[in-house]
Amino acid sequence: MPIYEYSCNKCKTAFSLIQKIGTSEKETTCPQCGSKEVKKKFSLFSSSTSKSSAGPTPSVPIPSGGT
List, for residues 26-46, the tens digit of each pLDDT value.
889 999 999 999 999 876 665
**Res. 23 pLDDT band, cuts 50 70 90:** confident
* DSSP letters spanning the chain: --EEEEEETTT--EEEEE--TT--GGG---TTT--S-EEEPP--------TTT-SPPPSSPPP-S--
Q: Where are the domains of the chain?
A: 1-19+39-44
